[in-house]
């Protein structure tokens, strides 16, 4: 089963004016082995959420992270050495990747660090009957932890909550130490972006949370950045069980969110809106599409682009327009073309202008590899998922949601110097201008 990502739950009374996180070295952490209590969300009910109070011991104290282990954690979990190595990974590798690309979190508890709490309460949030068939919540952050002291369930600090190893399945489905080591790092990257995004928009610059679809897309970018770290450390064919792997073994826990999701988006791009979802909604395709859009724009705009979005107006469309400096229809059109025109078969990659290409990823290559490794399952049926429909004398398009696209191909006779294409609503009526329809054209050489 695949670990699911759960975003924080918001509660009223969020405080403002919190401190910006400063250098951790000047703040002495609590001693290793010291304990404190936490309130951990134990029910995801939107009408009646509940929390459990747990006691946890400080197991690791780094420059950026304090790792607490719930004293009620099941037996046969991490050894002391494994736990130190685990904490070191988050403190010295994963946390810096997130903050370099997205900015600093707040510091409402003034400890100079983010807290990571590993608790079996998180394991129990997903019943065994669900996690064995549908996936499970491997970690989350709770926006209510930024609330003031009048909220009895607020821990008043920047906290990431994680499952613990439970090899015997005493709490919910079984999770070995290796399972936790594979799943939790990418979830930490994902949730840290949510935490930073919320802190930047609501705490440090008092306003409203970012649009959910953009916030979620950025969190999947955060997962991918974890993979890019290991890809750069291990260029092919190094660090691969199978030399034909695109990604090294160390990347495997970071790639599924963007790889599978973007494939699902490309398979049905006319039904998965990129701009009409919130991050508490389920669905792979729109998430994968939002990652692809942000990856494309990050390639086009270069370093610092994602930081700009963290500090925007909290309206996703406005933030993108301001960060890119172009109208949304313009760069959305180029993105739509790039999904198809990047790496056209049989042609040099430079056949498409730079604005119609990715630079950090070859999407055709990624999707083809996913198809090969999956064996052509019903949800991954094609080596290249984008379906291009032929245009004849009378071709109808399916209904399209706002923020979607569809693809057509028109082959013209060599002797024709001009071609006329007429667009209309059903019955030949003019398209309503309120729909803001737009057309992007990419012309291929004859015979291609």
Mean pLDDT of the 394-403 span: 78
Q: Express each pLDDT in 293-346 by its tens digit.
A: 999 999 999 989 999 999 888 899 999 999 999 999 999 999 999 999 999 999
According to DSSP, the residues that pair with 9 across neighbouring strands are none
How many percent of the chain have pLDDT more than 70?
A: 94
User: CA 335, 338, 340: angle at the middle one, nearest 5?
Assistant: 125
Q: DSSP E strands: which ranges in 143-232?
A: 159-162
Closest CA to 145 of 198, 181, 104, 99: 198
Looking at residue 398, what DSSP letter applies? P
pTM above 0.75, yes or no: yes
Q: Which of 143-147, 188-192, 400-404 has the lowest mean pLDDT?
A: 400-404
Give kind and range of the element (H or E) at residue 140. Answer: strand 139-140
Q: Which of 50-54, 138-142, 432-436 has the lowest mean pLDDT?
A: 432-436
- Determine how many CB atoms are found less than 10 A away from the CB of residue 324: 17
Q: How much is the pLDDT for 446?
A: 66
Q: Give yes or no for residue 10 having a pLDDT over 70.
A: no
Q: Express each pLDDT in 89-107 by its tens digit.
A: 999 999 999 999 999 999 9
pLDDT band at residue 447 under the 50/70/90 scheme: low
Closest CA to 103 of 25, 171, 183, 205: 205
Q: Which of 9-18, 126-135, 361-370 has the lowest mean pLDDT?
A: 9-18
Q: Give yes or no for residue 4 having a pLDDT over 50.
A: no
pLDDT band at residue 21 under the 50/70/90 scheme: low
Contact 16, 106 (CB under 8 A): no
Q: How much is the pLDDT for 402?
A: 82
Residue 125, token pair as written in the block: 């949030």
pLDDT band at residue 278 under the 50/70/90 scheme: confident
Q: Tell me the C-alpha to C-alpha distance, in Å, between residue 406 and each of 260, 286, 299, 331, 339.
A: 19, 15, 23, 16, 11
pLDDT band at residue 417 under the 50/70/90 scheme: confident
Q: Express each pLDDT in 205-231 by its tens digit.
A: 888 999 999 999 999 999 999 999 999
Mean pLDDT of the 233-242 span: 94
Bridge-based pairing of strands 3-4 and 136-137 is parallel
Mean pLDDT of the 399-409 span: 86
What three-state secondary structure class fits 20? strand
- Determine how many CB atoms are found less than 10 A away from the CB of residue 197: 29
Spatial neighbors of 66 by CB under 8 A, at least 6 apart, are 29, 30, 58, 60, 111, 113, 114, 115, 116
Q: Give yes or no for residue 7 having a pLDDT over 50.
A: no
Mean pLDDT of the 114-140 span: 93
What's the chain look like in SS3?
A: CCEECCCCCCCCCECCCCCECCCHHHCCCCCCCCEEEEEEEEECCCCCCEEEEEEEEEEEECCCEEEEEECCCCCCCCCHHHHHHHHHHHHHHHHHHHHHHHCCCECCCCCCCEEEEECHHHHHCCCHHHHCCCCEECEECCHHHHECCCCCCCCCCCEEEECCCECCCCCCCCECHHHHHHHHHHHHHHHHHHHHHHHHHHHHCCCCCCCHHHHHHHHHHHHHHHHHHHHHHCCCCCCCCCCCCCCCHHHHHHHHHHHHHHHHHHHCCCCCCCCCCCCCCCCCHHHHHHHHHHHHHHHHHCCCHHHHHHCCCCCHHHHHHHHHCCCHHHHHHHHHHHHHHCCCCCCCHHHCCHHHCCCCCCHHHHHHHHHHHHCCCCCCCCCCCCCEEECCCCCCCCCCCCCCCCEEECCCCCCCCCCCCCCCCHHHCCCCHHHCCCCCCCCCCCCC
Q: Give yes or no for residue 136 having a pLDDT over 50.
A: yes
pLDDT band at residue 74 under the 50/70/90 scheme: very high
Q: Give yes or no for residue 18 having a pLDDT over 60.
A: no
């Amino acid at each position: 089963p695949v670990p699911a990502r759960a975003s924080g739950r918001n509660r009223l009374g969020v405080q403002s004016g919190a401190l910006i996180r400063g250098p951790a070295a000047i703040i002495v952490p609590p001693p290793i082995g010291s304990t404190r209590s936490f309130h951990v969300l134990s029910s995801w009910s939107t009408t009646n959420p509940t929390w459990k109070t747990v006691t946890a011991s400080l197991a690791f104290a780094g420059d950026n992270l304090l790792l607490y282990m719930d004293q009620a954690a099941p037996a046969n979990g991490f050894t002391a050495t494994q736990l130190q190595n685990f904490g070191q990974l988050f403190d010295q590798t994963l946390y810096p990747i997130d903050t370099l690309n997205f900015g600093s979190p707040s510091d409402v508890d003034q400890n100079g660090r983010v807290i990571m709490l590993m608790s079996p309460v998180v394991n129990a949030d997903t019943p065994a009957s669900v996690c064995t068939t549908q996936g499970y919540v491997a970690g989350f952050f709770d926006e209510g932890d930024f609330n003031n002291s009048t909220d009895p369930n607020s821990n008043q600090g920047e906290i990431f909550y994680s499952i613990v190893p439970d090899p015997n399945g005493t709490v919910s489905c079984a999770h070995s130490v290796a399972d936790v080591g594979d799943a939790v790092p990418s979830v930490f990257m994902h949730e840290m972006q949510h935490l930073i995004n919320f802190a930047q928009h609501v705490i440090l610059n008092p306003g409203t949370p970012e649009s959910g679809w953009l916030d979620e897309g950025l969190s999947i970018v955060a997962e991918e950045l974890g993979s890019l770290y290991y890809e750069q450390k291990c260029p092919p064919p190094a660090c691969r069980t199978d030399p034909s792997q695109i990604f090294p073994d160390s990347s495997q826990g970071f790639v599924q969110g963007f790889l599978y999701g973007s494939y699902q988006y490309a398979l049905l791009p006319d039904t998965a809106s990129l701009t009409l979802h919130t991050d508490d909604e389920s669905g792979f395709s729109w998430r994968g599409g939002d990652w692809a859009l942000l990856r494309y724009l990050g390639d086009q705009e270069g370093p610092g682009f994602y930081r700009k979005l963290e500090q925007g107006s909290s309206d996703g469309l406005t933030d993108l327009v301001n960060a890119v400096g172009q109208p949304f229809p313009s760069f959305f059109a180029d993105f739509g073309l790039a999904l198809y025109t990047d790496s056209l078969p049989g042609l040099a990659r430079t056949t498409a202008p730079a604005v119609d290409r990715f630079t950090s990823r070859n999407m055709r290559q990624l999707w083809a590899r996913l198809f090969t490794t999956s064996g052509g399952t019903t949800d991954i049926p094609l080596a290249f998922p984008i379906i291009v429909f032929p245009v004849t004398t009378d071709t109808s398009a399916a209904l399209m949601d706002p923020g979607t696209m569809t693809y057509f191909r028109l082959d013209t006779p060599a002797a024709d110097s001009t071609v006329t294409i007429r667009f209309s609503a059903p019955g030949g009526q003019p398209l309503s201008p309120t729909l803001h329809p737009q057309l992007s054209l990419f012309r291929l050489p004859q015979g291609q």
